Structure 1
Amino acid sequence: MTRQIVLDTETTGLSAQTGDRIIELGCVELVNRKLTGNNLHLYLNPERDSHEDALKVHGISNEFLRDKPKFADCVQDILQYLQGAELIIHNAGFDVGFLDKELELVGLPPLATHVDSITDTLAMAKELFPGKRNSLDALCDRLEVDNSGRTLHGALLDAELLADVYINMTRGQDALLIMDEAPAGDDGIRVAAMDLSRIALPVLPANEQELAEHEDLLTQIDKSSGGKTIWRTFAGGEKAMP
């Protein structure tokens, strides 16, 4: 059984190292690349206010979070849910940095020690679509994932969208893909590589009409080049060889 957790967070700001905290955690479970409905969604009291710019992104008010549990109150449930899974995260360094800081604050080891691996879909997208925008919204548009309900960032909604994006980027739920054991970096984050070597591609031979049309096209090209096409010259040379 392959268990994957698609994970996203919302935070009070951009820097865990200067005191910003997680305010929302959204997780979507995939087993054998299929959604199970066993999701995890938490709002957390960060014990500080969100920056104004962050509020514009997620729209979660400081007042709403006042009576929510603190990360320390939920950490064991979170780790039990994530235990041993492969995490799928977009721009993984950001979310992992925040989760590592939260774990550090409660005296626990980094996230990578609790899970099987961490896959960064942003890094995957950059390899698949070099030179293009690879934000979650851009990938939804490119891969025809409906994100019309995403007016503000929300951890659970974004995790659900990313699950669809990930499945599309890796050829769909039923594709026979073998994931290479790509080495992880120092932060435990790896980019999943796709091995297609075991997929048998069907060979469709050309029929007589198609062969005749192909031969006619080659003849026309050869005539246009004054009989200097490489394949005719090579074929003639082969015939002339003893």
Structure 2
Amino acid sequence: MRNIFSPIKKLINTEFVNKIDISDVTFSVFDTETTGLNYNSGDKIISVSGVKVQNFQIDTEGKLDEFCDPMIEITPENEQIHHISNRMVRGKPNIYDLESKFRGFFKRSVLVAHNVKFDCNFLISNLSHTKLESRIREAVKLDTVLFSAGVYPDLKSYELSALCDELNITHHDQLRHSSLGDSIITARLFIHLLKKSKAQNIKEILNISKFGQKVLLNKTINN
């Protein structure tokens, strides 16, 4: 396959993603697990995982799957959600030690996650003043919550497991609320949405997400 990234070097902009054949774009589908939900209150990332999607296929050979020591305690309540204990992360590299590895995984790709703003805000906060912070801020991002709402505007729930059940996407073979398991499930959902868009001859997938944002806003207003 020709190297479509050579003329654009490091950055992939929105116009490029909307115009290029989607089968030629590399997507980094990822997920994080954290000590809590509020990075502004000092919550930290404890796990980052991801897989690549290209040409409607998941590439797990180059997967990312890392624990990192948050240097703070994981509460029992949060451990019940993601099943990551203090023992599992103690002594692991801190997130700054992993910054270059994360940056290598994300380079020259569109970032995809289920509620991508949450994961990106944690990476930006936890890795402030690094090259990865700049990379995350500048990157084209795609939220599978909004993408799903744009393709399927009449669904009642856009929670990841509910979406997979509704759309007959396999997910019970992966551990939910683990960063790797959720990355793989999100990648399967993402491929389903890409194929659905292609079947409907819709090429500008970022515009579908903008429509999905309006769908969710209308649902919030009307409920």
Q: Tell me which residue corresponds to 2:209.
A: 191
Corresponding residue number in structure 1 for 2:218: none
Tell me, in whole angstroms, the C-alpha distance in 2 between the residues paired with 1:91 and 1:20. 17
Change (3 A) 1:133 1:30: same
Matched residue type, 2:143: D
Q: Does the alignment pair 1:125 with 2:143?
A: no
Partner of 1:161: 185
Query: Per the alignment, in what secondary structure is the counterpart of residue 98 of structure 2?
Result: helix
Hey, what's the Cα distance between the residues in 1 that align with 2:187 and 2:193?
10
In structure 2, the residue matched to 1:88 is 112
* SS in structure 2 of the partner of residue 84 of structure 1: coil
1:134 is aligned, of 153, 158, 171, to 158
Residue identity in the other structure for 2:68: L
CA 1:170–1:79: 2 relative to 1, 3 Å: same
Judged with a 3 Å threshold, the aligned counterparts in structure 2 of structure 1 residues 142 and 177 are, in CA distance, closer, same or farther, namely same
CA distance in 2, matches of 1:151, 1:42: 15
Matching residue within 162, 170, 177 for 1:146:
170
Q: Quick check: 1:119–1:192 contact (8 Å CA) kept in 2? A: no
Taking a change above 3 Å as real, the CA distance of residues 171 and 51 of structure 1, as seen in their structure-2 partners, is same
Q: Describe how 1:23-42 pairs up with structure 2 within 5 A.
A: 23-37=46-60, 38-42=62-66
Does 2:73 match 1:49? Answer: yes
Instruction: Give the alignment's TM-score, normalised by structure 2.
Output: 0.74
Q: Report which structure shows greater RCO (CA 8 Å, sep ≥6).
A: 2
| Cross-structure match for 2:122 | 98
Tell me the percent identity: 26
The runs of 4+ residues in structure 1 deviating greater than 4 Å are 105-108, 172-178
Q: Distance in 2 between matches of 1:181 and 1:153?
A: 26
CA distances 1:53-87 after superposition (whole Å, capped 9, x unpaired):
22111010011100111110010111121012011
Structure 2, unaligned runs of 5 or more: 1-23, 212-223
Q: Which one has the bigger helix percentage?
A: 2
Which residue identity lines up with residue 81 of structure 1 in the other structure? Answer: F
Q: Residues 121 and 164 of structure 1: is their aligned pair in 2 closer, same or farther, counting only changes over 3 Å?
A: same
Quick one: distance in 1 between partners of 2:146 and 2:133? 25
Match of 1:6 among 29, 40, 59: 29
Q: One-letter code of the match for 2:29?
A: V
Cα distance in 2 between the residues matched to 1:175 and 1:67: 48
